[in-house]
Amino acid sequence: MALDTYTNLKTSIANFLARDDLTSEIEDFIDLTEADFNRRLRVRAMESVNTSFTIDSETEALPTGFLQVRSFVITSTSPDRTLELSTPFHQATTTGITTSGTPRIYSIEGSNFRFSPVPDTAVTARLTFYKAFDSLDGSTATNFILTNHPDVYLYGALYFASTFIRGMDQSTVAQFKAQYETALQQVEEADAKDKYNGSPLLQRTDININNLDNVK
């Protein structure tokens, strides 16, 4: 059976486990797998870009599915201004935190960005961030991971299932865990290969190898 849809994935997991009494639990094992790889993976397929993120108050809500900022640049100023990440404590104790102007730093508090200085007028930013993969469910039959790396779902769910099922042989638990870890590693390796595949190395022509001290 092809591991190409949520339904087929659940069936395959049940077949691997040789169990027909874990229907609801299998959905939990899939959820646990998703939670785990969304915490651990940071690959290009997770990147999302909002080129018109508006900042017009001290706090703005995090985007749906937000995991981590990759870059945050105010583009409505000249020149562009890169926002620097701070901690809530540092931001709260920084001189000028209560002043207004064009934001320079931001922190993440709960489900919000917090900016300082507080914007005195609305600005537009380009926010590039890592976003969680869409979760599989009755309305979302597949996603990038299931389409391109179905073994991540299969072995991840089998591993979490093996920690749930009483009496499961520990060598089997270790095997599923190792297969899951290998699948995750292969996602990262494929992503790294795609980043640089086909990109020729460029040779600098402005370097005199006899005068390397002047290379910048």
What does the pLDDT look like over 64-87, one tens digit per residue?
999 999 999 999 999 999 999 998
- Which two tokens mark 3? 């591991």
Looking at residues 51-74, what average pLDDT do you find?
A: 98
Phi, psi of 149 (to 5 degrees): -140, 65
**Could you tell me which of 23, 109, 132 has the C-alpha nearest to residue 61?**
109
> How many whole angstroms separate alpha carbon 55 and alpha carbon 53?
7
Range scoring the smallest mean pLDDT among 8-17, 54-63, 86-95, 109-118 = 86-95
In this predicted structure, what is the pLDDT of residue 200? 60
Is the separation of the CB atoms in 63 and 40 below 8 Å? no
In this predicted structure, what is the pLDDT of residue 19? 94
> How many whole angstroms separate alpha carbon 46 and alpha carbon 37?
11
In this predicted structure, what is the pLDDT of residue 93? 73
Q: pLDDT digit string (tens) for 150-204?
A: 999 999 999 999 999 999 999 999 999 999 999 999 999 999 998 777 656 555 5
Element at 32 (helix H, strand E): helix 23-40
In this predicted structure, what is the pLDDT of residue 98? 58
Beta strand spans in the chain (E): 47-55, 59-61, 66-74, 81-82, 84-85, 100-101, 105-109, 112-116, 118-119, 123-131
Peptide bond into 103 cis (omega under 30): no
> How many whole angstroms separate alpha carbon 161 and alpha carbon 29?
6
In this predicted structure, what is the pLDDT of residue 89? 80
The model carries a pTM of: 0.85
Distances (CA, A) of 21 to 17, 25, 108: 10, 9, 43
- For the chain, give every domain's residue range: 6-43+133-191, 46-131
In this predicted structure, what is the pLDDT of residue 211? 56
Helix axes of 150-164 and 23-40: crossing angle, nearest 10 degrees: 120
**Could you tell me which of 126, 120, 113, 117 has the C-alpha nearest to residue 75?**
126
**Could you tell me which of 1, 105, 127, 9 has the C-alpha nearest to residue 58?**
105
* CA dihedral sign, ordered 130, 107, 75, 73: negative
Is the separation of the CB atoms in 122 and 34 below 8 Å? no
**Could you tell me which of 16, 18, 21 has the C-alpha nearest to residue 3?**
16
> How many whole angstroms separate alpha carbon 196 and alpha carbon 19?
43
Looking at residues 2-18, what average pLDDT do you find?
A: 96
Q: pLDDT digit string (tens) for 101-148?
A: 999 999 999 999 999 999 999 999 999 999 999 999 999 999 999 999
